[in-house]
Structure 1
Amino acid sequence: MPLLAIPGLGAESSQLHQQGLYWLACDAAEDAILLCRQVIEGMPDSARGALIADAQTLGDVLAVLDSASGPAELALYESTPQAICNLAQDLPRLDAGERVLVLMAPAGTWAGDDVELWCNALRPALLAEGALLLVISSGQGASLVAHLRAFNQGVDGLAQLYRGKGGVRYLQHFWSNLLGKAGTRDVELARLQAGFAAAQAPQAAADTGGDELQYLAQRAVLEGAPAFSEHWVVCEGPDDLGAKASRAVSATVIFAMDAGQRLDSLARQLHRLRQLRGNALKLVVREMAPTLRYQDEQLLLGCGASQIVPFGASLSRFLTMVESIQGYVWRRRLPGDFDALLARLRPLAICGLVAPRAFAEAVQSMWHGVRNGEIVHQLLVLRPAPGLSPLQACSRAVFRRDGDIACVVGEVLFLFLFACRSEGVEQALDHIFQLSCKELFISQEVLAGIDSLATPAFLDERLPRPPRDDAAQLPAQARPALLPRRVGLGKWGAA
């Protein structure tokens, strides 16, 4: 039984048919050579093998080939791109019957749709000759793999050997043998002296589609740079990007967020993609201008964003952050109702000093996002300094954001800060109060919940009036009219 000879892959992903066509696409030429040598050394002694490659590759593979391992018979055939294109016609002359043929060639040997025509002609010829062919291509071949994935009925197995996620990985797109058919698997490989071995058990990814290496990005996020590799697909706008992303399964999709873009529309688009394509899709938002506040970020994350790259991150830092989420699966719970989510993450149109009852009702309404773990608010109890009433302290406050409200209950001031993390409380207080909070208040307590708002004191519907500034109310004293007066000027320097 022919084997791929990578220990740890499992029989369903390493066994091959006796006849047919399999394809391994390696990004790096040195990995392709090592894998080819490993496959040949893994052939049983009774097998009839053949290696087809150019002169340089033949020498590289054979240079350190273990003579004590592999098939008793290994035929060598020096090839050219033209000979590879005509391989189907040359099979009878290669004595291919019952042989395991290993073909090594650069990915550029096949251009576009040529690979489909080549497989269409070659696979029936292999079956007719009773031969098995394993193609090991080298070099960046994303477009080649994309054609082979779409044309899966012409190939018995397709996998990639690529470098990413911190090491060398084996990405199986599909594989068939006598045990049946296997789908997408992404396995980390350990590089040993004898070749590659699975570093861990293969991860069956029911929610991946073999496009893990693809990046779909808005042009703006590249800052004028061209596509970084053939794995990158650049789109002009969010609509074009969304259309392509709607056909992806586990690719990385990168949206640009600038000052002129509506946050709600981007959030809705992320929500739709996450709902449509599942959790393996990596959805990234790059902030191109300083537009996102904390609650905006929480909205995007709640709608399915895997990562938000903040404004000011350099292009190299942006690429590092995107690379860091490869292999990531979105683990949050996606709310089914986008409009309800939007309502929970948006403040009510209310701010400033309000009556206790209005304060309690507004806070209870805006607290739903905290219960769902989607956002964080702060509810504070501030006790004024001696000689200062809560209303006097509140008269030195300027409320600028919707959702930031206060009320007076007894001798304390209740303050609610919408979408405010604990580390941002001091900064928020400095923005609201014109004087230092240490001068205005002797204590500051953060409440963990809103149970205290259910007390009878919060049934009061009266809005207290801030005290008037008496100095400002004094009538202006009449001033005498200004009259001209004579001024004598002396000569500069005169005694």
Structure 2
Amino acid sequence: MKQNFSLGIRDLWDELVTLQLAGFYWVNIDRQIDAALFCQQVMHGQNNDARVALIGCGERSDSLLTALFTTDNKFTTENNNTGKKQLSCYAIPENKAALLNLTDDLMRALRPKNRLLVLYAPASLWRDISPEGLQRWIDDTAAWLHQRQCTLVVISHSSGVTRLRNMLISQHRGLYGLASLQWQQDRAQYLVSWWATERGVRANKVQMLQSDSDGWYMLKEEEPILTPSLDDDGLFLMEKSVMEGAPALSEHWQLLDDNDILVQTGMLTHAATLVFALNQTSQVDTLVKQVHSLRRQRGELLKIVVREMKPCLRASDERLLLACGANIIVSHSEPLSRFLTRIESVQGQRFTKHVPVDVEVLLTTMRPLQIKGYQPPDIFRQSVQMLIDNTLMPEGSKGVLVALRPVPGVRAAQALTLCTLRRFGDVVTIAQGRLFLFLSNCRLNELDIALKSIFRLPVDEAFSNRIVWSQDLQILAEVKSLVQDDTLEQERQINDYVQLQQTESAPSRQVPRREPIAIDLLASDLLGSDLRARAPGEPS
């Protein structure tokens, strides 16, 4: 009987955890911490006679390799014959050349035969590979695995997994299995696109997983909560200001005085439509908790609509409301007729997304970091890394990184005096003689408006060069190189900014700006009505 390996996920069906000999499997995982736990579980899930090789990539794999040998005594090195699992560990640099030469390097270092190979790497390792290049790499690797009778599991993680997943979805001829693990705040969704073993192929399977100190295990399906069948599907409950003074459209429409009364009434419904009004930013947190409570207690049939009455919602606030259970959010710019059409569009909908039990988890993870303004390069790098690694925000729209080079004769520290950052999550640093500015939740088409409000002078006049990065992998790569290059002038620039902060911290009053005033000269204002006009130079 052929030797097979296993992913080791507890309570999950054998057809979805078995790794066939000479197979090529790929698992994409959003968060690095989840990927590290998953990788350790794969290591632990093998039989004692299994021979396993772990290939780490870059600095991110160092902690995993250390943990396997220091916190667990189940592994031994290749030449130590103690009856424990034999584990060989290798590390490759995070670049395209190392990836393309992976099989050649393994032949020189290991000459594997009948082994389980686990490649643990960030998704950015494949950022410079085109879809055609990825297909060639998969085909060549699959042929090598068949020749050596080895099984390979690729565990890719962190920023870039969405792009990588989209490229891999068409590689069903080369990959035996493709799956993804997506964190949902209090549990994870394990989505199997396809998984082939000797028993057949399973496709389009979704299971919820939970983690503990021993790894991942499958959650049992929750029993659906049976609620009394209420005939309120056609009931519309609204905060009265959302109708802009218009009356209720029918007897099934109720206009209520405020959002609090709307919540109390909505708790008695099952499938009604509730419309909240949002007038100012300070209401967001309260409204988030109200929407979350309604969705968790009243179920998926309830339709929850939020209408923005004045411009007060940031993109992060919109995502937060949608994650807490709102069906749609209507912008302040949409007229009443369009608003009523949007209400019609949600009829018959079911809210199928998972809503975590603890709303504080959403409030913490979906908001920008509570820092703003200037940060030293190391803190700047860490802050941007944390913002980019946030899996609840869509990839490619977490913010923009802008590099600004001052005009000749102006140092970067001097140009910093023109910069005023007011929003949390917007940070700036100085490196390589330039200002590096990261604006969280800023879309590329909004950049010019944002820069105009941040700088006191027009950007084109104060800076001679501007470079913008909007893709997550590009931002991470640039920030990493920024920190590596910035060492010599860092201390002097920080000292300059400390002096700048002390100067700006003193209270200052704004100098009133003089504006021209038009004056009409009447006949009565002249020196005399009988004075005749004189030519220039004529004596009086």
Q: TM-score, normalised by structure 1?
A: 0.48
Q: TM-score, normalised by structure 2?
A: 0.44
Kindly name which structure, 1 or 2, has the bigger radius of gyration based on alpha carbons. 1
